[in-house]
Amino acid sequence: MPQYKMRSGPSFSSVSFFKAGLYCAALTWSLNLFCQAEPYLAFYNGTKLHNLRALKDRVPPFLHLNDLMISLGFAPSQTRDKNIHILVNQRQVILDPAAQTYTYSGITQPLNIRIASGEVYLQTSQVVSLFSQLLGRQMLYEPVSESLHVPAADLFSAKIITRPVDEKYQLEIVYSANAKPPKVDQFNQQLIVKVFEGSVQVDKSAFQANPALERMEMFDRLPDGTTEFLFVLGPGVTKLDIEPFDRRNPRTIVNISGDFVTLSPQDPAAIPAAPLGLRRIVIDPGHGGKDRGAIGPSGLKEKDVTLDLSRRLERALEREGNYEVRLTREGDSSLSLKARTGIANNFNADLFISIHLNAVPTQNARGSETYYLSLDDDNSFDVSHYNTGDSEEDSTEEESDDLELILWDMAQAKHLDDSFRIAKYIQDEFNTLAGIRSRGVKQAPMKVLKGAQMPAVLVEVAFLTDPVEERKLKGAAFREKIIRSLVNAILTYDREVQLRSKGALENEKAGH
């Protein structure tokens, strides 16, 4: 700071004091304006970050309506007859600040609306509920990091459904909006549906093999930029009837006739429905072998603690009776980062959790934090602690070509929304059960999460470099609290996945 000295000379006159008073008042006013600069709330539309103006004098905070509308790609709100009108996906909503309500589809509901400096702000928790309906995508608010999240809308998706209809079987492929008409061909006992999209997020939960469709395979990123679904037809198939494609309701419907031995739903020989929710979980004990990870003040090694926690978590999940659990390493061995993710992919896991302990030289750094993948290169974040390894594969990872890196990113991109969900549940549980101060849910470009073809998170349980937390980590009681927190979070996430899957099946049965 510059040092100011008072000039020597005659004493101040009353006018001088008056001017000085005005100056001080002006300076104070300016400082107040600076100190009261409007705070922001982080909003992730997919992986793209937007900073929304917010009023944080309440919990949860109020966010700026038009900032949200613009960041979602919609026109700002309009004020007519003292009401505020917004249009999202051709759905109109009328906000009434005087009555503190909104009207949508003829139904009026309460809504906390604040007007500040002529700008409209809405309470975050109610924004989540309202905009999830309007967008058709689940919006989430994470209070610790004060961040709002909504999955990307531009990922092309296809849901494959099979069902018996009278004496026939029906194949239905439901596409994202604005799909181009696919090409449907039959070659001998194969039905091929060509979609003019290079990358497709596929939901096969409603596909059941049957006498008409014995199995299916998908071939994406073909040289011509398309994706093909190949269905192997059963020997009894005699005729295929393809319904006309409607751009307003994009889907491929194929009715399959033939000589089939049909099985009723009550028949014990019927093919069982795929279970809803999580089934297979892979736990990754961080570091191992020559890579010791962090070292505590008394010499406690991260690689030993993460392995013990992972084994405890494996046993606890297996006691729940619903899960198949696998560890990426069973002992003190080195393992490349790609191999860890590869184990989860080959196991067809529904969830991947990498367990670590935090380490920083800063004093009094304590607490837990959970990461999910950021697809943006963030040079400000030091990932060296997580990206270590002793195998030859790790030493050559940086030499991979751009295409491979892009494909790895895409593998996790479609799961970022669910990765955030499980990360949030873990942090919530650490806050309540384990009594560990939460440092929030964060994103970082960690290689161990790249390429995972399922929701994936990295958990920093506590700071091993902090003497207090190292001492707690040595005790079995504290480790069991950590495990209980992780199990509770996984069970919460599993219930949510089941409810979403059940809702999708009910909508399907209702013909939606």
Residues 390-424: pLDDT tens digits?
Answer: 433 343 344 344 434 444 455 567 788 899 999 99
For residues 337 and 227, membership in a common domain is answered with: no
Where is the domain boundary, 239, 269, 299? 269
Alpha helices in 36-168 (DSSP H): 65-71, 124-135
Q: Which residue, 237, 269, 301, sits at the end of a domain?
A: 269
What is the C-alpha to C-alpha distance for residues 91 and 146, in angstroms, rounded to an integer? 28
Q: Which residue carries 């349980």 as its tokens?
A: 461
User: Is 389 contained in some domain?
Assistant: yes
Rounded Cα distance between 247 and 181, Å, is 8
Is residue 51's pLDDT more than 70?
Answer: yes
Cα R_g (the chain), whole angstroms: 28
Domain of 132, CATH number, reads 3.30.457.10
**261: pLDDT strictly greater than 60:** yes
Residues 328 and 452 in one domain: yes
Please state which of the ranges 69-83, 270-284, 309-323, 357-371 shows the lowest mean pLDDT: 270-284
Assign 346 a pLDDT band (cuts: 50, 70, 90). Answer: confident
Residue 510 pLDDT class (50, 70, 90 cuts): low
Task: Give the pLDDT of residue 360.
Answer: 78
Local confidence band at 104 (pLDDT 50, 70, 90 cut-offs): confident
Is residue 9 one of the residues assigned to a domain? Answer: no
Q: Hey, which bits of 334-393 come out as E strands? A: 351-358, 368-373
- Is the residue at 144 inside a domain? yes
Is the same domain home to 260 and 383? no
Q: What are the pLDDT digits (tens) for 107-165?
A: 899 999 999 999 999 999 999 989 987 876 778 888 877 889 887 766 677 889 999 98
The C-alpha atoms of residue 185 and residue 168 are separated, in whole angstroms, by 19
Range with the poorest average pLDDT among 76-90, 339-353, 387-401, 479-493: 387-401
Query: Is residue 200 a contact partner of residue 160, using CB atoms and an 8 Å limit?
Result: no
CA 160 to chain centre: 23
The answer to whether residues 301 and 414 belong to one domain is yes
Distance, in Å, from the CA atom of 485 to the CA atom of 370, rounded to the nearest integer, reads: 13
- Of 485, 487, 484, 461, the closest CA to residue 473 belongs to 461
CATH of the domain at 297: 3.40.630.40
Q: Please tell me the pTM assigned to this model.
A: 0.54
What's the CATH code of the domain at 195? 2.60.40.3500
Identify the H or E element spanning 418. Answer: helix 416-429
On whether both 443 and 321 belong to a single domain, the answer is yes
Asked if 357 and 430 sit in the same domain, the reply is yes
Tell which of 226, 244, 269 closes a domain. Answer: 269
Q: Give the domain extent around 486.
A: 280-498
> Looking at per-residue confidence, does 248 or 488 come out higher?
488
- The answer on 354 and 484 residing in a single domain is yes
Does residue 480 share a domain with residue 361?
yes
Adjacency order of strands within the sheet including 280-285:
324-327, 280-285, 351-358, 456-463, 368-373, 438-444
Q: Is residue 507 part of a domain?
A: no
**135 three-class SS:** helix
Work out whether the CA dihedral 65, 67, 68, 69 comes out positive or negative: positive
Number of domains making up the chain: 3
Taking 70 as the threshold, does the pLDDT of residue 227 lie above it? yes
